[in-house]
Amino acid sequence: MTSQENGPMPIVQAQALSKWYGQVIGLNGFALRVIPGITGIVGPNGSGKSTFFKLILGLIKPNAGSISVLGEIPWKNAHLHSSIGFCPDFESLPSDSTGREYLTLIGKLQMMHGTALSKRIQEVVKLVEMDRAIDRKTRGYSKGMKQRMKIAGALLHDPKLLILDEPLSGTDPLVRNDLIDLIKMLNKDHGHDIIVSSHVLFEIERMTHNVALVYRGRAVASGDISEIRNLMDRHPHNIIIEGERVTALAKTLLDQDYVVSVAFNDNKDSLTVQVSKPDDFFNGLPALIDKTQCSVSKMYSLDDNLEAVFRYLVGR
């Protein structure tokens, strides 16, 4: 669990950590203890998740408080990066390069070379199922392919700790399922400790039950997800689905007992689905898409119900 002082040696420990950018507060008295395994960092957009990751990586320095990663202070500690793999939430792939060129650069920066590097590149692209697209320019990749390639880059040097910032963001439901399976496998079969962020609690729940909730720059709760989940289940969950021929999907969704309402947005290619049991919805959606033969290009969850829970947690 993330909050107890006893138990296994923490991989990340933040104490009274604060970071602000001029007038904007990124983190404010942030305290968190992350133990080995998969830990989910959940919070609305702008809550401080990415700031926390940048502090873990030493990309920025704290204004107050302290942070240690694998027992070391990350700011100006390049050596620590041999033990960390990072998949950012933004597009960081060089667009003029192929996947192989990108991974070769990453590998060489990690002091890998020759046949060992080539072999490792083949291993990781196979693991993330990008082996057939490795020699294509990254600018031609879909969102899901870019996410996979970024994860491959993070995995290449076989780091102890993987930091995945919103890895499911903007991907379609099938890719989402694949990525969730991949993240679980990286922990279970390959032994990587993983810190993964999302603004959707139910996505994180499918990877781990060990969660920290971040809101307005603070870790407002951490621990087993079930308590938080019960709280969230009392708030209907809004999900946007975009794609082609989603009218048939809308009709089918209305027949499901976990769906509260379905409404079209500005056009017939976009739906807002309100669900009472997000778990059932996410598990059942791929079969419904298959059954209705629609094409879903994008799916994302609105923060509004999470905001309500966070407001409750911080007593506002």
Partner 1 sequence: MDLKRVLVGIQALTFFSTKKLLFGSKAVITVLVALFVAAVMVYAGSQSNNPLEDGTNLMDTLILFFFMPVMAMIFGSSLIRDEIDDKSITHVATAPLDRAFSYLGYYLPLGIATAISMVAISTVGWLGFFGQHGVGPDELGIYLEFVALVVIGSFVYSSLFLAISVLFSKPVMFGLFYAFIWEGYIGSLPGAIQNASVKHYLRSLGSEWVKFGDISRWNQASSASSSALVLLGVTIFFLILGTYLFREKELA
Q: Are 75 and 58 in contact (CB under 8 A)?
A: yes
Q: Using the rule CB under 8 A, is 243 a contact of partner 1?
A: no
Contacting partner 1 (CB under 8 A), which of 37, 43, 88, 173?
88
For residues 77 and 265, which CB has a smaller minimum distance to partner 1 in the complex? Answer: 77
Cα distance between residue 262 and residue 253, in whole Å: 8
Number of chain residues interacting with partner 1 (CB under 8 A): 33
Q: Which two tokens stand for residue 158?
A: 């076989």
| Span interacting with partner 1, options 28-36, 52-60, 118-126, 169-177, rule CB under 8 A | 52-60
Q: Using the rule CB under 8 A, is 263 a contact of partner 1?
A: no
Q: At what angle do helices 278-292 and 246-254 cross, to 10 degrees?
A: 130
For residues 40 and 74, which CB has a smaller minimum distance to partner 1 in the complex? Answer: 74
Among the listed residues 84, 30, 42, the one whose alpha carbon sits nearest the alpha carbon of residue 225: 42
Contacting partner 1 (CB under 8 A), which of 64, 109, 185, 314?
109
Q: Are 10 and 35 in contact (CB under 8 A)?
A: yes
Report, in Å, the least distance between residue 43 CB and partner 1.
18
| Span interacting with partner 1, options 35-43, 106-114, 194-202, 287-295, rule CB under 8 A | 106-114
For residues 143 and 235, which CB has a smaller minimum distance to partner 1 in the complex? Answer: 143
**Chain residues that interact with partner 1, rule: CB under 8 A:** 21, 54, 57, 59-61, 76, 78-82, 84, 86, 88, 90-94, 96-97, 101-102, 104-106, 108-111, 113, 153
